[in-house]
Structure 1
């Protein structure tokens, strides 16, 4: 179903399951909701609310694209589909969005689940490690990925390039391409204007806003989840974990950037335990 943001932009949404609400925030920026499997896992635990962010996937391609606008859109989703207070689960860029929303509106957030995020360090020291690990993980696909990345691409080539890049986000080489192809089906097209605008703003925000100080005042329980095989280093979130007064951390062995895919049972247990209000096992 569609809802309308406060500026009348149409946002695609879907809900499944029963129980207390849990709003999912996908990564990108510029991508679309890829949480079919995750919603299936969590629907026994919560009433799962999914959405395509502004300009992405099935939502209206209408800016502006900014962190502030994304927070306002998330608030519209929360207000219309989740109620006065909800749990949030954000993945990758969506983890940052969910964190920023909780900082702005802590009274509207019951729990925050921060999955495969990259922390709040202004220098983004994790990024060179990510670039190196990406190339190592691509292995025999590296030359094709580089060749596609260096030229204008047809829609079919764009999907191929993205599938190759996303395959590096999975630890199991034998299944990585099929997992990535599933994310790319249906192919809804990456919004690069959205990607560039929000990434630039996040970099500036990390340099100029003291997010660590704001995190220290966040009176919301937080669960930080990371896979041991994510090509983004786990230490990138150390300072965030230290700044949050009510944070637990779970590291899932053998899982990459989408840990619910490669550590399904452990991920599901950690989330269900956290939402139930007890300490997740490590």
Structure 2
């Protein structure tokens, strides 16, 4: 795996990774770019990359303001779409398969709406969620926390600022409910906290606010018109976010939908075999499309 720094059009340097066969365009195989979630987190999709980088070239990157990609300006969806366009230019690819996870599925969707000619395929992982998904998600998350855990989380969330230890506790209490396997959920959540801190909370707030200006749910008809055939959605039946909404979205978009039993919001952790098979099938069909 190779780390490559890419300078985009406003001078910001983004940290990127490349793996898999170097020559794919001449062989007619579109490469993949993995778009991580958040917003405000660094890339965490290396385990996903390892599942498919024998199929084609795979790229990952830290979104600006996260991980190795520093920045302190105002975050907008349009700026992040432009970053991905700049990266594709720097990598030398006119068209790529976009694989997004969680919030990354939103960013992939906004990119496809802005630049459909550059999208060879789309695979959505655990998203995008449109419509009335937040309240049932909160209900499911609360059901996985004890009353004491929920009370502690509420207290930590209400603090004007948190110490380092409090931030670790706050994130772990927030994230362990993402996992269907509650025996291992706390261990996985703590591992994520260690790997992803510090969270860019300013970026999180600004991008979430910008998404509400022109919500994705208002663009589903347009998205349906531009998504390439063979696009797919993969989710987890044990994700606190409603899998039923992914099924209904898939029907609207004409996407194949795979919901993995016993998997949560990070299905490669909980059901690695089933997830690997679903991902390789979805990516493989778009790397080698059947006319």
- Assess same fold via TM > 0.5: yes
Aligned 8 A contact 2:247 2:257 in 1: no
Aligned mate of 2:245, from 221, 236, 244: 236
Structure 1 residue 215 corresponds to structure 2 residue 223: yes
Aligned 8 A contact 1:223 1:249 in 2: yes
1:31 deviation in Å?
1.0
Aligned mate of 2:144, from 137, 144, 153: 137
1:263 deviation in Å?
1.6
Aligned 8 A contact 1:118 1:236 in 2: no
Unmatched tracts of structure 2, length 5 or more: 25-29
1:164 deviation in Å?
2.1
Listed one character per residue, the Cα deviations across residues 9-54 of structure 1 (whole Å, up to 9, x for unaligned) are 1111112223642111111111111113222222233322111111
1-structure distance, mates of 2:68, 2:165: 19
1-structure distance, mates of 2:196, 2:260: 29
Partner residue in 1 for 2:272: 264
1-structure distance, mates of 2:182, 2:42: 24
Aligned mate of 2:78, from 68, 71, 91: 68
Partner residue in 1 for 2:69: 59
1:174 deviation in Å?
1.4
Structure 1 residue 180 corresponds to structure 2 residue 183: no
Structure 1 residue 160 corresponds to structure 2 residue 169: yes
Partner residue in 2 for 1:35: 45
2-structure distance, mates of 1:144, 1:44: 45
Aligned mate of 2:104, from 94, 104, 112: 94
Aligned 8 A contact 2:122 2:232 in 1: yes
Aligned 8 A contact 2:121 2:227 in 1: no
User: Aligned Cα RMSD in Å?
Assistant: 2.1
1:187 deviation in Å?
4.5
Aligned 8 A contact 1:118 1:126 in 2: no
Of 141-150 and 174-183, the range deviating more from structure 2: 141-150
Q: How many residue pairs get matched?
A: 274
Q: Structure 1-normalised TM-score?
A: 0.90
Unmatched tracts of structure 1, length 5 or more: none
